[in-house]
Chain A
Amino acid sequence: MSDHSKSWKVGKVSLPPRVALEISWKNIQVRFGRAMITAAGTCLGIAFLVSVWANIAIVLGSGEQIDPDVEMRNTWLVIMSLLVAAVGISNSMFMAVTERYREIGTMKCLGAVDRFVVELFLIESGMLGGVGAIIGGIAGFLVMLLVSLVKRKAGDFFGMDWSYMGAHFVYAILIGMFISVVAAAFPAARAAKLPPAAALRSDV
């Protein structure tokens, strides 16, 4: 009886951040193929962004003027590519929600509240965005290295404005993570709204 009344006091469920990170990381590891497809969008968008910024760093380093028309066009291209990346991530996360329909319902049966489900999806997408952006950032930088070695003097590349480049590389990674988290917001909200009874259905 005493034992029973102890367990009956209604309290609050919790999901410590460490465990949330662990679970999200496992989801990425185990579903590596699909994770990489999700990350690929961010990777390409950020690669393009970093290559544009690397070009600016080179121009700044060589003391030339930046052509405002070219800059304008590049800005548009970067924005478009990041939007495309965001739509890709969103789409991919929606598929992940459909795939994990029963799993999400099960978690809710085990005591997860809507917020846990949102957290797990956002963390997962943020991690993928981070990984995608780092790989994309390095790739964009290397592509720019090749291009400038072909089209310019080697000195131009190595004489680039490195502090500008360093800061913008970090911005690019943060932008990649930010876009991934924002793009996952709708799918995560959809996942959180799934009824726990979904877990009991055997036809999905």
Chain B
Amino acid sequence: MAAEAARESHFEDYVVRTRKLTRIYQMGDTVLRALDGVDLDIKRGEYISIMGPSGSGKSTLFNMVGGLDKPTEGTVFINETDMAQLDAAELAWIRCRTVGYIFQTFNLIPVMTALENITLPMVFAGMSTDEQLQRGRALLERVGLGDRLHHRPSELSGGQQQRVAIARALANDPDIILADEPTANLDLRTGKEIIELLREMNEERGVTVISATHDLHMIDISDRIVWVRDGAIEKIEDRASIELTVGQVDWEEESGQAEESE
């Protein structure tokens, strides 16, 4: 009984846990440790930013956490389930129901309208057509695109496309949203709006948001910031210490990626 209760509370606490997560890319005779023994625990409902220079392994980490790629060594637990134990069909279910993806390049399906893009994951999840339409409409309205239901991606601006992508990521009420540089292809103001929208969704729905970014605006709203370098976690800052070190961070970034985010 006690053990059960302990397990339950644990289950509630951590939506993602990685243990000694390692991904090695072998190209010819060069061996690249894109991830090198990452231990990371993410609580349900957290808003996490993953920061780090280009090539530090952010996207690789996302691929592992989202079940898009298999680690060379180590384990990823999603809701305390070891991803390595799942077969292809179960992984697809997790990608469909448990994880929502947001991409740098928006990645809407070009031949589909905004509404169809949002209902596609619901189709895969086996939702009824009525429910799909109702949910799809509500989500598009929520992200401020209630009047763009039947527009194709090519008829939407970048910011609007990313809003559709956010609505799509929320289609099946996932536990986790993985956003890989969601603002990198947007101008500063639109990027800020997108980040704020993500934060609102996080607060409204309790969905855990994990976002890789070069964007210092993320710092203001993140619960924690994970700094990665050369495939390893360099440091993890929580909200309290973020506020203290913001000045220092600005200075550090000035020499590195500051121009990229502008």
Binding site for B on A (CB under 8 A): 1, 4, 7-8, 10-16, 19, 23, 26-27, 29-31, 102-103, 105-114, 116, 195-197, 199-200, 202
Number of interface residues of B (CB under 8 A): 41
When the two chains form their complex, are residues A200 and B93 in contact, meaning their CB atoms are under 8 A apart? no
When the two chains form their complex, are residues A109 and B109 in contact, meaning their CB atoms are under 8 A apart? no
Known A-B contacts A30-B111, A102-B107; A108 and B95 likewise in contact (beta carbons under 8 Å): yes
The listed residue (B88, B97, B126) touching A7 by CB distance below 8 A is: B97
Q: Inside 8 A of B152's CB, which chain A residues have their CB?
A: 30
B101-139 contacts to A, CB under 8 A, are: 101, 103-105, 107, 109-112, 120-121, 123-126
B54-103 contacts to A, CB under 8 A, are: 59, 62-63, 66, 68-69, 79, 81, 86, 88-90, 92-98, 101, 103
Q: Inside 8 A of B125's CB, which chain A residues have their CB?
A: 13, 111
When the two chains form their complex, are residues A16 and B123 in contact, meaning their CB atoms are under 8 A apart? yes
A201 to nearest B CB, angstroms?
8
Q: Inside 8 A of B141's CB, which chain A residues have their CB?
A: none
Known A-B contacts A8-B98, A16-B123; A106 and B92 likewise in contact (beta carbons under 8 Å): no
When the two chains form their complex, are residues B93 and A106 in contact, meaning their CB atoms are under 8 A apart? no
CA distance A13 to B88 in the complex (A): 11
The listed residue (A8, A12, A103, A111) touching B121 by CB distance below 8 A is: A111
When the two chains form their complex, are residues A27 and B111 in contact, meaning their CB atoms are under 8 A apart? yes
Q: Inside 8 A of A13's CB, which chain B residues have their CB?
A: 89, 92-93, 96, 124-126
Q: Inside 8 A of B79's CB, which chain A residues have their CB?
A: 8
B180 to nearest A CB, angstroms?
6
B196 at interface, CB cutoff 8 A: no
When the two chains form their complex, are residues B105 and A102 in contact, meaning their CB atoms are under 8 A apart? yes
Among B12, B93, B111, B121, the most chain A Cβ lie within 10 Å of the Cβ of B111
When the two chains form their complex, are residues B95 and A196 in contact, meaning their CB atoms are under 8 A apart? yes
